[in-house]
Structure 1
Amino acid sequence: EEGTFILFLVLVSAHALTVEAPAREIKVARGKNATLRCNFKSNSVPDRGDLVVWKKINRDGSYEWEWMLTEKDFFQIFFNPRTVGSVETGDISITIGAVTMEDNGTYACSVRLRDDPPREQNPKSVLQLLLVAPSKPECKILGTAQYGETINLTCVSHEGSPTPTYTWKSFNVQNEPRVLPHTQGQQITLKNISADTSGFYICTSTNVVGTEFCNMTVSVVPPSMNIALYAGIIGGVVAAIVVIGIIAYCCCCRESKEEDYEMTLLAGFDNISTPEQHSREQEDRNEPSVRRMPPRQESTGEDVENA
């Protein structure tokens, strides 16, 4: 990843003292070192008590940090190892190591020499902007990929400075390039999609620092493909109803059998007679047999003799 600083340098000019910032715009990769150059010229020689100031200025005008140097030797000590050059030669440049997004901002340098005081201030600013390559974009499909529907394809890099731009290209299922109605922006819309819409879509996120991309596959299906789903749901409901019906039928049959069994038992209990009834029935059965018995004949003497 590369980055760019835009530096605001406040230059104070007075009498023979001049302060210059050679670079109006500095670009550097994130994580690298950024050197902020500032030089001054004067007819006097810097000495103890002279003042060199570096400031990082926020948007509201406040200072995030301020380095004030009151001794010529202290400049080398305080900024080490960020310094390049020396106060004696008029070089008060500083180097910020391993820059991050937090280092992005406006910086100002100024010089005050007791032997060469400024008569008026003439500040000059240079913006220093840190540039960051786009992060790998996140691709999404918004909507239902069915015939006749409208879907949106989105692509977003969550990091990148300046803001990345997005371009799209597409290939059909035979991996042949095809023309898209729109090829710019974080989102493209595909209307009235069909089988011809299916294929591969590539989004490229780009800024002056670098490029990243993401890709996605779009598969458009006809609405009839959902019949299997609906059929499965209906089949499941019907099966549940059948199972419930079988269970209900079994319960009813069981209750019916229990009632028949109870009726049979009751009928059996009705056929059981009491001892009195049994004796009476026995007498009734014996009476006819007594009536049918022929009268007994008495033996005679003749019968004896004949025998």
Structure 2
Amino acid sequence: MGTWMFSATFICLALVSGVVCVKVVIPQPKYEYARGDNITLPCTFQSELSTPSLVIISWIAEGVDGAEDVVMLTHYSSPGRTDYNSKYEGRAKLDVAVATGKANLKLYSITLNDNRRFVCRLQIPGDDEGTPDDVTELVVLVAPSTPICKVQGKPEYGQNINLTCLSEEGSPTPSYKWESTDVRKVPRMNAPRTTDKGGILSLFNISKDTSGYYTCTSTNKIRSASCNLTLAVMPPSMLGSVGQTAGIIAGVAAAVIIFIIVIYFCCCKKKKEKDEEYALGAPAEEYRDKARTENGERPLARDDDDRSERDTRGRQNNDKPRSDYDDRRSDYDDRRSDYTDRRSDYDDRRRDRRNDDDRRYDSRDRRNDDDRRNDDDRRNDDDRRNDDDRRNDDDRRNDDDRRYDSRDRRNDDEEYDRPALPLNKPPRRD
């Protein structure tokens, strides 16, 4: 492009007088701005015509990866109108001054899609010699996103694997660098055959010493980002045993589930058969009290004979083929009627026993009343006898007192009537 412009300029200057030349200039071949900025791409032009009748200025965005070019805008000096492409309407604006030769392009809130080359082109009727256009490159700066680290291949002894590192965003395209430490986090150099290119670290004939911690750093003009990866290299037998153990566990779990399902269906089938046997067989016996004899023993009731007879009949019926449904149904009805009769007999016996109990309770109450009355009579007799004894005792004591008083009075009278003993009476000798 530069050689062509130089040649065109030299030809223009070498032309004879009277031939007009045009020149378009963009000061720098590359401009770098951060994503989201509002920028200006400068462009100036010159013409030998002092007052051209018409000047047409266009800005063109070149296609990326083989895409077509896009005309962003076109300005016509007469009548002073500017046409914008719908993709850039509201984002692009032309700052133009034909008299001074200014045709600057303004872009607002640039994105990664603006990473491309832009062309400033001038068209003047009657002045088409020289350099009617110029090109510049816009680089939108974006910090690299946090890279993603992955392992490609099996980390087994003797294998070749790749460690990949990639940032989804980053402009300009970031560069990648791998670093590693051993399991003790001591920095180490890569093996001689190891290659690190474009974020891919290739490891050959790996072993236990290859295990460790790996760090990938993604860097561009804005800043850097990194990701970490832990690599554990194991023998193939260990990985096989782990897979074999997992398979055994899965097989045992499946066998247990199948066993549980089989048991469940067997239990359901047995329960269904029991329900059918109950519907067609003898009804369950109910508990009922039996009357006792006077000595407390239970008599052999007719129920026992009926039960044994019913059991025998039930066994005989069970031995018959199940297809004889009508006969079993009739037997069931007969047993049901027998059960109803026995139930009525049982109710009668219970009523009789209840009446007997009531009579026993009445006679017991009457005896208790007689006993209480006899006890009261005995207590009254005892009280009367005690009172009589006390009165007799008092009478006896009074008689004794009266006898003692009369005796004392007689003794006193005898002492007064008895003559006094002489003073010289000799003592009595036995």
Fold conserved between structures, TM > 0.5: yes
The whole-number CA distance in structure 1 between the counterparts of 2:248 and 2:67 is 70
* Contact kept? 1:168, 1:183, Cα under 8 Å: no
The whole-number CA distance in structure 1 between the counterparts of 2:51 and 2:73 is 17
Matched, 1:214 2:232: no
Matched, 1:120 2:129: yes
Which of 109, 121, 137 aligns to 1:98? It is: 109
Partner secondary structure for residue 74 of structure 2 = strand
AA in 2 matched with 1:118: D
* Superposition map of 1:1-307 within 5 A: 15=20, 17-42=22-47, 49-58=54-63, 63-71=69-77, 74=80, 82-84=93-95, 86-113=97-124, 117-123=126-132, 125-131=134-140, 132-181=142-191, 182=194, 184-185=196-197, 186-223=199-236, 225-226=238-239, 227=241, 230-231=244-245, 233-234=247-248
TM-score by length of 1: 0.60
Change (3 A) 1:75 1:28: farther
- What is the RMSD of the two structures over their aligned residues, measured on CA atoms? 4.3
Change (3 A) 1:235 1:201: closer
The whole-number CA distance in structure 2 between the counterparts of 1:125 and 1:76 is 20
The whole-number CA distance in structure 2 between the counterparts of 1:52 and 1:74 is 11
CA offsets per residue over residues 42-95 of structure 1, 9 Å max, x none? 455567743322223437795412422223784799899834574433221111
Q: Which has the higher helix share?
A: 2
How far off is 1:233 after superposition? 4.7
How far off is 1:103 after superposition? 2.1
Change (3 A) 1:123 1:180: farther
What fraction of aligned residue pairs are identical, expressed as a percent? 34
CA offsets per residue over residues 270-300 of structure 1, 9 Å max, x none? xxxxxxxxxxxxxxxxxxxxxxxxxxxxxxx
Change (3 A) 1:156 1:172: same
The whole-number CA distance in structure 1 between the counterparts of 2:61 and 2:39 is 14
CA offsets per residue over residues 89-108 of structure 1, 9 Å max, x none? 32211111122232233322
AA in 1 matched with 2:127: P
* Larger Cα-atom Rg: 2
The whole-number CA distance in structure 1 between the counterparts of 2:195 and 2:223 is 19
- Greater relative contact order (Cα 8 A, min sep 6): structure 1 or 2? 1
The whole-number CA distance in structure 2 between the counterparts of 1:73 and 1:209 is 45
TM-score by length of 2: 0.45
Partner secondary structure for residue 93 of structure 2 = coil
List alignment gaps of at least 5 residues for structure 1. 1-8, 252-264, 266-307
Partner secondary structure for residue 230 of structure 1 = helix
The whole-number CA distance in structure 1 between the counterparts of 2:41 and 2:249 is 75
Partner secondary structure for residue 103 of structure 2 = coil
The whole-number CA distance in structure 1 between the counterparts of 2:210 and 2:137 is 45
CA offsets per residue over residues 206-256 of structure 1, 9 Å max, x none? 344543322211123345545466356558868969x98xx9xxx9xxxxx
List alignment gaps of at least 5 residues for structure 2. 13-18, 267-314, 316-430
